[in-house]
Amino acid sequence: MPAISVLVVNWNGRHFLEDCLGGLRRQTFRDFETILVDNGSSDGSAHYVRHHFPEVRLIAIQENLGFTGGNIVGYEQAGGQLIVLLNNDTEPHSRWLEEIHKASLLFPQAGSFASKMMYFDKRERIENCGFSLGTAGTTVDLGRDELDNAKWITPREVFGACGGAVAYRRIMLDDIGFLDPDFFMVYEDVDLSFRAQLRGYTCIYIPTAVVFHRYRASLGKRPALQVYYSQRNIEYVYLKNMPVALILRSSLQRFLYEIGAAVYFFRLGAGTAFLKGKWDVIKHFPSLLRKRRQIQLSRTLNDDEIRARLTPNFLNKWRKLRASWR
Per-residue model confidence as pLDDT tens digits over 3-18: 999 999 999 999 999 9
pLDDT for residue 313: 62
Closest CA to 6 of 37, 29, 45, 32: 32
Among 3.30.70.20, 2.102.10.10, 3.90.550.10, 3.40.50.300, what is the CATH number of 4-219? 3.90.550.10
pLDDT for residue 325: 44
CA 141: distance to chain centroid?
11
What are the phi and psi torsion angles at 41 (to 5°)? -65, 150
Would you say 10 and 38 are in contact if contact means Cβ atoms under 8 Å apart?
A: yes
Bridge pairing between strands 32-39 and 139-141: unpaired
More confident residue, 322 or 44: 44
51 Cβ partners below 8 Å, 6+ apart? none
Which residues of the chain does CATH 3.90.550.10 include? 4-219
Bridge pairing between strands 32-39 and 57-61: parallel
Model confidence pLDDT, tens digit, residues 249-285: 999 999 999 999 999 999 989 999 999 999 999 999 9
pLDDT for residue 98: 98
Model confidence pLDDT, tens digit, residues 46-86: 999 999 999 999 999 999 999 999 999 999 999 999 999 99
58 Cβ partners below 8 Å, 6+ apart? 36, 38, 46, 49, 50
